[in-house]
Amino acid sequence: MAARVTTMLAMAAALAVPRVAAADPPPTSVVRYDGHQVLRVEPADEDELAQVLDLADDVWTERVGLGAPVDIRISPQGRAALDITGISYEVRVADVQSAVDMERARLVATHDPASASEWFDDFRDWNAINAYMDTLAALDPELVTIESVGMSLEGREIRALRLNSPAATGKAAMIISGTMHAREWLSPMTVMCIAETLVNDYGADSDTTSLLDALDLVIVPVLNPDGYVYSWQAERYWRKNRRGGYGVDLNRNWDYQWGGQGASNNPNDENFHGEGPLSEPESQALASYIEGFDHAVAHLDFHSYSELILYPWGYQFGAAPDEGMLSMLAGQMSSAIQGTHRHYSSPIQGSDLYPAAGVVDDWSYGVHDMMSFTVELRGNDFVIPPSEIVPTCEENLAAVMVLAQWASEQADPVPTSGDDDGGASDDGLDAGDDDDASADGGAGDMGGDGIASDGGDEGPGGTAADGGAGGDGQPGALPPGFGGEGLPAGGCACTQGRQPMPPWWLMLGLLGLRRRRRAA
């Protein structure tokens, strides 16, 4: 196995070329943040909030409102003006540029990984991610295919890893997407690590094998490749796509309640919603790709940071028709995350922070009836130690397994002829129906290990900040982050030595939950 994967790694490295238009220009300058700091402010009223937002150079909190802290990046001049107002604050990052410089120096010095287990030792650029996607697909061509989702504004290909075993047909589909916001580097690393684990465990772990035999799972690691590349080359804290040099926030561009609260019509704002719904090729591509599935039932979109699991509605405070099930699944995923490394991710309705219109989870749920969630990963900054990558992967893999288990039960797959372990088998999926006393197929009273599922009545638990920071970088200075020996059989190279997957994620399968369908 090791020799086989080493060959695959070498082939992928040799064939990996930038999937980008020939006219793609290099950045002409690198953005610096000299003297800038990140402050956490909790405005007392609307007037203070307006002053804070006016003085900020960049708002790192995803959804801004009263009653929750706001993380801002601010210049020395801005901080001096803030001091005059008398508004209190906490310094979260004392020297933004220093943090960026240290990250850049570490990445430049980082050697190519000698083995697949080292691939997740640090953050990887877009070319390295594409190369490793090729490697994962080559490991098991019957399970994994690479599909083109579409093209970005600058001509880069948006790619998906599709895990669809031939064991059965007629399966439900689940979508996982990452890196809608460029500066959130923990997102693609987490999504890639989850993909690697599932590919490596298929055929070696009975639970993973049964699950993937019953589910069509699609993973899109980088939805915003232009912005991601730019954040590596020129502006570490760049968030949006690269439209016109000002960019559009792809997570305010979706065609459901577009243009409402929490989205801006000012191109200079970080939450600029674009000229119209689905105006951007990246959001158009994913929308069209999802609409190509006959039975897509769930969607997880990964962001950083703030340790939250958000579910619809985001655009309004009112409850969604399936709020009971959304709340239950969010609670189950939160418990899964907490049960792995004791990090708590608050499961709340998105608008409990502050309304945000045109977001992807509202679109997936409101237009396509999918159980849809935004996961905000761990951390207090966009620049995060690489030692956080694997633990973040492990805890969010647990959450993925919860939703994937539910999703697999929303169809009745037909076993492929001659496959003794056909995907329609109930083994490992619906076993233990005798314990089904607490399942009613609809809105539960509790989600997960005692997490209340009463429709988002729980507050954000003091974790409302969704931000990040970044810096500069020299184009072409970074290593490809690829190469070496392969994945060991029957285990995740990124999480060698981890504890076995806890059995609580199987409880959702034991309950035999079936989604209560909304009225047409």
DSSP lists the bridge partners of residue 115 as: 485
Q: Which residues contact 503 (CB under 8 A, 6 or more apart)?
A: none
Report which DSSP code applies to 500.
P
Residue the block writes with tokens 């997570």: 251
Which SS3 state, helix, strand or coil, does residue 219 take?
Answer: strand
Active-site residue (options: 62, 103, 376, 458)? 376
| Cα–Cα distance for residue pair 222/179, rounded to 1 Å | 5
| Cα–Cα distance for residue pair 328/409, rounded to 1 Å | 16
| Cα–Cα distance for residue pair 456/81, rounded to 1 Å | 38
Which SS3 state, helix, strand or coil, does residue 159 take?
Answer: strand
**Terminal Cα distance for the chain, rounded:** 51
| Cα–Cα distance for residue pair 215/408, rounded to 1 Å | 5
Let me know: does 205 contact 133? Beta carbons within 8 Å: no
Q: Is 157 a catalytic residue?
A: no
Give me 79's structure tokens. Answer: 């901080």
- DSSP letter string over 195-213? HHHHHHHTTTSHHHHHHHH
Q: What is the 3-state secondary structure (H, E, C) of 343-395?
A: CCCEEEEHHHCCCCCCCHHHHHHHHHCCEEEEEEECCCCCCCCHHHHHHHHHH
Report which DSSP code applies to 115.
B
- Which residue numbers are catalytic? 376
